[in-house]
Structure 1
Amino acid sequence: MRDSLAQVKLNEEERYRLLVDAITDYAIYMLDPSGRISSWNPGAQRFKGYRTEEILGHHFSRFYTEEDRAVELPARALRVAQTEGRFENEGWRVRKDGSRFWAHVIIDPIWSPSGDLLGFAKVTRDLTERKRAEIELKKSEQQFQMLVQGVSDYAIFMLDPDGYVSNWNLGAQRIKGYRAEEIVGSHFSRFYTEEDRAAGVPERGLETARREGRFEKEGIRQRKDGSHFWAHVVIDAIRDETGSLIGFAKVTRDITEKVEAQKALNQAREDLFQAQKMEAIGQLTGGIAHDFNNLLMAVLGSLEILKKRMPEDPSLVPLLDNAMQGAERGVALVQRMLTYSRKQNLNMTAVGVPQVIADMMELIPRSIGASISFETNFEEALPPVVTDPVQLETAILNLIVNARDAMPDGGSISVRADAVPGLAGLSPDAAFVRISVSDTGEGMDTETLQHATTPFFTTKGVGKGTGLGLSMVQGLAEQSGGRLLIESTKGKGTTVSLVLPAADADADETPANESLPGTRTCIEHDHARRPLTVLAVDDDALVLMNTTLMLEDLGHTVIEAFNGQAALETLGTAGTVDLVITDHSMPRMTGAELAERINAQWPHLPIILATGYAELPSGNGDQWPKLSKPFSQEQLAEAVALAMHRCPEQKTAAAR
């Protein structure tokens, strides 16, 4: 029986040994009470590299690193196992070949039935791959942390599920102004403006990210110092393996410069479009001016001759006067268009602004009515401005009439003038005078203000304005080297300022009510009574007929020619010709070219250039007296007198 029990016990020990020897994923071996190895399984051989005969009897401390042996870790491990019943740890261990591996170690004490320490059971598992993965993960996390912290162009930080900041990178500090210790634990809504917080914008952003996984938007955000910046914001929801929300990743980029650059680009495009549009209108205006002026010349000239020859009939004269008035309004419209497009010649001179207003005081009260008060305020020692006095008077009157129309129920208009330094876009070293017309009317909204100077834009209703008033004033300002400024708020009135260059201190002022050279009658009405033989040249039959009728009505003999070549042939065969009046714009040979050829053959023959354009092209045409179409019979007579040297001091003055 005893032998049988012994055999069973031996068989169990054999099975246990076979089990231990079969395990290769764990190093399982025995230590004696002093720590020397007393058994060794194949798993231990595989992990540590020692064969059984090489390692039995050696102290297990040889598996520890020098650093661990220096701090007596092996002895402490045995002591803990003996006193506490178990020692468990992870650390670096050393193989036979000197390489290291990461081991999970368990040491259990082995006691005899009588309580004596027989030794220790030691189980070691190789966790090197796991450790390497952990090291790589930690390294990756550290690198990512370094990357995030190194980014200074983006604010990158985390929010908890409720929107409170949980970490903070240097980019966030640079962009938003908060240090990490100042902001971690605060709600991210503090970066939003007060208006956005009141409207619930931060909460909607988190809700969108929570629901859709991502929220992206651009908007105004607020720095620590209260300043605002344009931000591009992305909020991504972060979830764990189970899908539970653990927070949000928030990335903010300061795009203020980009937004401002885009605004500047859009403004430049708008300015370019506006400039191209204005240039196109200007080109169109200059191009059609000649044809319009020719048509108006034919209408006005015929009406003027008809009025002189028609018998006094009370039923017909008003109709004729009405037709002439309509034609004259057409002339004024064309002149406004030319002034706007800066193709109207200006008589630039020094003009005293107070004198301009003083000369208009008789007209202004009748223009604005009794329900509107009017006042002026001029800076003392105000320098004169350099511009066309007649156009300036017209511009100021336009602004006053516009102010009146903005106050149908009455109000007040004030005209002020003061000296100002050079404005942006104007010469910084030059002096300017600002003439401001202010009203207490209904004002303009932003959209209306943007289109206020656009030609033909008007808010006055059909038949109550051409929409060229402010355009004309702007044209005068820019052609004079100045600028037009408009300040207006809906319901709070409007101030329109005409900024013009100031004249030199010693410049002679031209009274505003003095007619320009060429517009005053320099001789008595009998100045052209001496009959002349006049060669009239024009390719437009209607204009030529009117010019002929006017000249013949003045007592002159007229020879007609429809082009430059015919005019030269006529001069060669017609005998004595006292004066040539030629249109400038003719096919094949312009009036200026015809004048040059006439001057070469008949140098003493007076010549007048008539033109429906606002200005003559560059060349030699400027040396001849100019007669602008449409012209009246009186202006024609004056031009003839000037050309015949009746007013030597105005020999080259232009008749208007």
Structure 2
Amino acid sequence: MGERRLSTRPSLPPASTSSLRLRRVDRSEPVEVLLVEDNPGDAGLVRARLRKVANITHVETLEDALAELRVFRPDAIMCDLNLPDSDGLDTLTALKSRASQIPIIVLTGSDDEELGLDAMALGAEDFLPKSELRGRAVERALRYAVERARQRAEVVNLAQRLVDAVVVVDEQGRFAFVNSAAEALFGQPAAKLLDREFEQSLELGEIALTELTRLDGTRVPVELHASRIRWQGQRATLATLRDVSVRDAAERERRALEGQLRQAQKLEAIGRLAGGLAHDFNNVLLVISSHAEIAMDELGLRSPVREELRAILGATARATALTKQLLTVSKRHRTDPRPLSLNELIRGATRLFARTLGEHINLRLVLDESIEPVSLDPSFAEQVVLNLVINARDAMPDGGELWIGTERATGKLASGYEGEVVRMTLRDTGVGMSPEVTQRAFEPFFTTKDAGAGSGLGLAMCYGIVTEAGGEVRIESEPGVGTSVEVVLPVASASAEAAASERTAPRKGGPLRMLLVEDDEGVRHAVSRMLRTRGHTVFSASTLAEAVEVASVAKDLDILLSDVVMPDHNGREVAEAVRRVRPGLPVLFMSGYAPEEALAHLEEGEALICKPFSPEELALALSELTNRSVTSSGTFL
């Protein structure tokens, strides 16, 4: 091998923690060594022991060594600490400042073991007493030092490939090493982080959840784990940091989905309860209201009983509204969605809003004229807006401002719809709600109002209507600031708008001959009387078998009027059986609650009327059905 003096090669940049390329020690490949020794005899001994394994560049002063390191990057440095221009550990400190990643072997006097240990504590790779320069210890120390540095470089390079941030913090609490993931996490390059203070608390052996502040001032939640290591010969702390903001966001989304699932389960439970009661309850209401109306028609205008009958009808109307609310909350109701402009709906209800809010609440409308129609049942859409307005009013007993706005947007909804949406926002300056109350705001029967002041179904009904239409309802509130409710709905499809344009006004028809199928005797009698008083001919049956028998013998039947839920068969089965003997017969189904398994959809020539209904509502439903049947077939069956 050989010896080289000061080089004239171009300067090299300082060694970087992100670009270490220390090669594996191989006896066939010489090691590049910078020897810093002012004693010619000791230098000669080192050269003699390493002549077969190393290329040695020899200098005698610290100044020359630092100059050489500007143009030459050796695999190792062997140095005497006592030089003409430097003394003791100051020599090591100066060399480490220029070559922090290069292993340094300190040559000490025979009785300077303590100095050697101090040098290792300061970052030297090893120390070698000069009394051992004649033995194999020189070559062994060199190879061990270079190999350890190579292994350390491999660990550093591995750390650079990790997705988690890895930092080394020295005893003074400053950054000694950062990998590229740490640069990204802290938002600063390694050059700015090194030697800066590490602000996070380091609890050894514990996985701690903490926050760090990035260069732009944002705070990032991280998991931090710390352990003790030796770094460049000194005690240090190795810390790994994992950005958990994405995980936290996923956890928040999971909790939100779980909340939606719980809400759906509650609504399902209420739906089963409502479904079990609604049919029989609405049958009773139909009997009461129909007989009251018939009695009203037969009594004279001056009869003192009319007021009592009006009270009965008012009570049944309130009971009917409550039943419909329960079915709306549980989504077990029939709707008639059609393209609807939210702007027109809001403008049309402005006078109603003004009366509802009173003079102490200022109403502001900010409506985007470019929004597209949404697909909603108009009556249910009115309920949504009115319920939200009433809630806002109740939250501002001392007055305030209600802001109602609409706007176009795009987004992906929980229903799976992705595309253009319409966002309607109602924002009040009321008392606001705590996070605990906000979380339960859509729960059926949950209310913060005094007993008798609210049923707790208003927001739950809004939730049911909007989600059934494929939309979402979001609520934000802060005590003392106010509440904002956001309704997001997909725009109506082109096919829905075309279907809406084809709707025709119902036309009045003449007397009809119809088959009435109803298992409840009271309802059957009440409906039959409603129809007969308007001149219709009614054939009655209480079971499927009776219905088929009547349909087989009765002449010129115009319509089948059938209950949906019956003990042995449902309305669909009745309709199919009757149509086998009377093909194409129009069907008007009656139900207070039509479960999906009984009426998944209505076919051509079919309609549904919800119990309880008035004689006028029944007449209108029959008229609409007969008009459609005439239009589609050309002749009335």
TM-score range relative to shorter protein: 0.5 to 0.7
Which residue is 1:31 aligned to?
none
2:518 is the counterpart of 1:538: yes
For residues 59-458 of structure 1, the aligned pairs below 5 Å read: 67=48, 136=144, 139-140=147-148, 143-144=151-152, 146-148=154-156, 150-152=158-160, 153=162, 154-160=165-171, 162-165=172-175, 172-173=182-183, 175-176=185-186, 182-189=192-199, 192=200, 202=201, 205=202, 209=203, 214-224=205-215, 226-236=217-227, 248-256=236-244, 259-261=245-247, 263-265=249-251, 267-268=253-254, 270-272=256-258, 274-275=260-261, 277-278=263-264, 281-282=267-268, 285=271, 288-289=274-275, 291-306=277-292, 308-309=294-295, 321-380=310-369, 384-418=373-407, 420-425=408-413, 430=420, 432-458=421-447
Name the amino acid aligned to 2:349: M
SS at match of 2:288: helix
Name the amino acid aligned to 2:610: S
SS at match of 1:547: helix
In structure 1, what is the Cα distance between the partners aligned to 2:432 and 2:424? 19
In structure 1, what is the Cα distance between the partners aligned to 2:153 and 2:493? 68
1:572 deviates by 4.1
Q: 1:490 to 1:505 in 2, by over 3 A?
A: farther
SS at match of 1:637: helix
In structure 1, what is the Cα distance between the partners aligned to 2:620 and 2:180? 83
Name the amino acid aligned to 2:392: A
1:401 deviates by 0.9
In structure 1, what is the Cα distance between the partners aligned to 2:341 and 2:602? 34
Q: 1:264 to 1:591 in 2, by over 3 A?
A: same
SS at match of 2:239: strand
How big is each residue's C-alpha offset from its partner over 1:16-68, in whole Å with a ceiling of 9 and x where there is no partner?
xxxxxxxxxxxxxxxxxxxxxxxxxxxxxxxxxxxxxxxxxxxxxxxx89936
1:155 deviates by 1.7
CA contact (8 A) 1:290 1:611 kept: no
How big is each residue's C-alpha offset from its partner over 1:576-598, in whole Å with a ceiling of 9 and x where there is no partner?
76654211233544323322332
Structure 2: 5+ residue stretches without partners: 1-44, 57-107, 112-127
1:272 deviates by 4.7
- Which sits farther off after the overlay, 559-568 or 470-479? 470-479
1:238 deviates by 7.5
1:537 deviates by 1.4
- Which sits farther off after the overlay, 128-137 or 586-595? 128-137
- Which sits farther off after the overlay, 475-484 or 399-408? 475-484
For residues 512-523 of structure 1, the aligned pairs below 5 Å read: 522-523=507-508
Q: 1:510 to 1:401 in 2, by over 3 A?
A: farther
- The alignment's TM-score, normalised by the length of structure 1, stands at 0.63
Aligned length: 506
Q: 1:326 to 1:285 in 2, by over 3 A?
A: farther
1:455 deviates by 3.5
1:421 deviates by 3.2
How big is each residue's C-alpha offset from its partner over 1:384-412, in whole Å with a ceiling of 9 and x where there is no partner?
54432222222221121111111111122
In structure 2, what is the Cα distance between the partners aligned to 1:564 and 1:385? 41
SS at match of 1:423: strand
| Residue among 596, 620, 627 paired with 2:576 | 596
In structure 1, what is the Cα distance between the partners aligned to 2:483 and 2:336? 30
CA contact (8 A) 2:605 2:628 kept: no
1:269 deviates by 5.3
SS at match of 1:163: coil
Which residue is 1:488 aligned to?
477
SS at match of 2:609: strand
| Residue among 627, 630, 634 paired with 2:609 | 627
1:222 deviates by 3.0
Name the amino acid aligned to 1:67: A
Name the amino acid aligned to 1:476: I
Q: 1:187 to 1:298 in 2, by over 3 A?
A: same
CA contact (8 A) 2:517 2:543 kept: yes
Q: 1:459 to 1:156 in 2, by over 3 A?
A: same
In structure 2, what is the Cα distance between the partners aligned to 1:630 and 1:68? 109
CA contact (8 A) 1:441 1:493 kept: yes
How big is each residue's C-alpha offset from its partner over 1:447-491, in whole Å with a ceiling of 9 and x where there is no partner?
433333343333334333333323333443344454434343332
Name the amino acid aligned to 2:320: V
Which residue is 2:3 aligned to?
none
How big is each residue's C-alpha offset from its partner over 1:266-318, in whole Å with a ceiling of 9 and x where there is no partner?
52354155236416624752784374044123224324413543778999766
Q: 1:435 to 1:136 in 2, by over 3 A?
A: closer
How big is each residue's C-alpha offset from its partner over 1:320-367, in whole Å with a ceiling of 9 and x where there is no partner?
545543433343334344444545443333434454344434433332
In structure 2, what is the Cα distance between the partners aligned to 1:66 and 1:643? 110
1:186 deviates by 3.4
In structure 1, what is the Cα distance between the partners aligned to 2:129 and 2:429? 90
In structure 1, what is the Cα distance between the partners aligned to 2:620 and 2:406? 37
Q: 1:66 to 1:400 in 2, by over 3 A?
A: closer
In structure 1, what is the Cα distance between the partners aligned to 2:610 and 2:464? 20
1:509 deviates by 12
Name the amino acid aligned to 2:213: Q
CA contact (8 A) 1:438 1:496 kept: yes
Residue identity (%) = 25
1:545 deviates by 3.9
Q: Which has the larger radius of gyration?
A: 1
Which residue is 2:620 aligned to?
638
In structure 1, what is the Cα distance between the partners aligned to 2:129 and 2:423? 90
In structure 2, what is the Cα distance between the partners aligned to 1:348 and 1:619? 14
In structure 2, what is the Cα distance between the partners aligned to 1:66 and 1:359? 100
CA RMSD, 1 decimal: 4.8
In structure 2, what is the Cα distance between the partners aligned to 1:371 and 1:561? 58
CA contact (8 A) 1:150 1:170 kept: no
In structure 2, what is the Cα distance between the partners aligned to 1:266 and 1:472? 25
| Residue among 529, 544, 568 paired with 1:564 | 544
CA contact (8 A) 1:413 1:437 kept: yes
Which residue is 1:477 aligned to?
466
In structure 2, what is the Cα distance between the partners aligned to 1:88 and 1:178? 44
Q: 1:391 to 1:185 in 2, by over 3 A?
A: closer
Name the amino acid aligned to 1:143: Q
SS at match of 2:238: strand
In structure 2, what is the Cα distance between the partners aligned to 1:622 and 1:320? 39
2:589 is the counterpart of 1:609: yes
CA contact (8 A) 2:564 2:571 kept: yes
